[in-house]
């Protein structure tokens, strides 16, 4: 028994001797593990840094974490402070320590990133100042929430050695298709100026429910985004009566490409760029995207609906891989025997994914196909779901 305890203590001490990662540590190819059609990130140690807000001041360090970050139990925070995984201004403090405004708090964690679909990030065009890729669904463009390495920018750096990339436009995490990245700040600024001047034309395709009307359909309806529920609503004049219209002006043009009587493939051309604009405008027409769980009904009844758990959770918060011959394939070779270090204090171990992810998430049937600007045009192939055959 004594020998077993000594071995456990030695293992724990080794865990504490590791080098904690910061945003300066770049993703590497061996960081990724492929299982069950999902791209996972091998868990790693990471330093989260925050500064004490005025409303936090006067609380004990443990109460602060227990009240503000409810994802872990109270006992975890007690132990994290005692062993130095939570520090104030770079120093260990007692559990009764009272925090003061503007102090720097470091939380050293064994970080588990959410999995994404195991599709390649296909490079479409590689120019001196511009890189275009076909973004797979479920992968965020850049670090946000719980995602850092499992992002387009992170994967391109790890698997293609591409750095200093500046995304020119935004695609929602569940949306696929053309993504333009500038390869230097000056080119990114030029793209930004063209977009702000209204000189860039954007085109998407969507698979919607029902027979979409023929001819060009223009939806010119304000969009009101509610960050609390992560959902937008359309605010039309005829629905508001004497009530002031909320939200921001938004306009989208839609044109039916084809229909099979059950679904339609629709060309979507957003004139403005509001959050979830195409999704909520299609819902407004009565033809929502056919697999869009967030907008298939007028109201959100259950935010834990299958396929939306990753969206919800993200808002809060080595071996080399087998080579892939099909660049557009999501059927990556699986490394089911990959191991990673189990952290004795981690609340997510021994699982690869963090708690709250069901693994059944699918990509949205919304795909960016073309961006056109002054003297340039970039395109992306259509996805398989865009064919009715």
Active site residue 172: yes
Which residues, 6 or more positions from 206, have their beta carbon under 8 angstroms from its beta carbon? 265, 266, 268, 278, 282, 289, 365, 366, 367
Token pair of 232 as six digits:
């937008």
Percent of the chain that is helix, strand, coil (3-state, to 5): 20, 30, 50
Q: Which residue has the tokens 């758990």?
A: 309
Q: Which residue has the tokens 């698979």?
A: 207
Catalytic residue among 36, 75, 89, 172: 172
> How far, in Å, CA of 234 to CA of 107, rounded?
40
The DSSP letter of residue 60 is B
> How far, in Å, CA of 268 to CA of 201, rounded?
11
Categorise residue 2: left if φ over 0, alpha if ψ from -120 to 50, beta otherwise.
alpha
Cα-Cα-Cα-Cα dihedral of 279, 355, 70, 112, to 10°?
Answer: -90
Residues counted in the chain:
389
- What is the CB neighbour count within 10 angstroms for residue 372? 14
Catalytic residue positions?
172
């Amino acid at each position: 028994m004594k020998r077993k305890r000594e071995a456990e203590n030695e293992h724990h001490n080794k865990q504490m001797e590791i080098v904690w990662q910061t945003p300066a540590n770049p993703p590497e190819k061996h960081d990724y593990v492929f299982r069950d059609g999902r791209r996972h990130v091998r868990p790693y140690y990471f330093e989260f840094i925050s500064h004490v807000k005025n409303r936090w001041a006067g609380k004990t360090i443990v109460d602060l974490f227990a009240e503000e970050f409810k994802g872990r139990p109270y006992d975890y925070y007690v132990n994290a402070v005692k062993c130095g995984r939570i520090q104030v201004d770079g120093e260990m403090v007692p559990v009764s320590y009272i925090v003061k405004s503007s102090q720097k708090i470091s939380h050293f964690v064994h970080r588990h990133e959410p999995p994404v679909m195991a599709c390649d990030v296909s490079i479409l065009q590689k120019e001196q100042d511009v890189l275009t890729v076909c973004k797979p669904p479920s992968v965020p463009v850049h670090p946000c929430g719980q995602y850092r390495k499992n992002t387009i920018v992170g994967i391109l750096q790890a698997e293609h050695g591409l750095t200093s990339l500046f995304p020119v436009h935004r695609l929602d995490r569940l949306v696929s298709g053309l993504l333009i990245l500038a390869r230097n700040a000056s080119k990114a600024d030029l793209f930004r100026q063209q977009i702000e001047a209204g000189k860039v034309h954007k085109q998407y395709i969507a698979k919607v429910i029902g027979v979409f009307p023929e001819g060009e359909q223009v939806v010119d309806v304000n969009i009101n985004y509610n960050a609390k529920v992560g959902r937008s609503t359309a605010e039309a004049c005829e629905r508001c009566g004497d009530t002031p219209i909320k939200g921001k002006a938004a306009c989208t043009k839609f044109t039916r490409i084809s229909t099979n009587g059950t679904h339609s493939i629709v060309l979507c051309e957003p004139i403005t760029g509001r959050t979830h604009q195409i999704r909520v405008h299609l819902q407004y027409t009565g033809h929502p995207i056919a697999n869009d769980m967030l907008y298939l009904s007028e109201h959100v009844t259950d935010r834990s609906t299958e396929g939306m758990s990753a969206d919800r959770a993200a808002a809060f918060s080595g071996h080399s891989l087998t080579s892939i011959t099909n660049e557009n394939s999501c059927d990556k070779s699986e490394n089911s025997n990959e191991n990673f270090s189990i952290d004795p204090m981690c609340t997510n171990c021994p699982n690869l994914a963090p708690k709250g992810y069901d693994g059944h998430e699918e990509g949205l049937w919304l795909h960016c196909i073309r961006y056109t600007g002054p003297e340039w045009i970039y395109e992306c192939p259509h996805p398989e779901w865009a064919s009715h055959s």
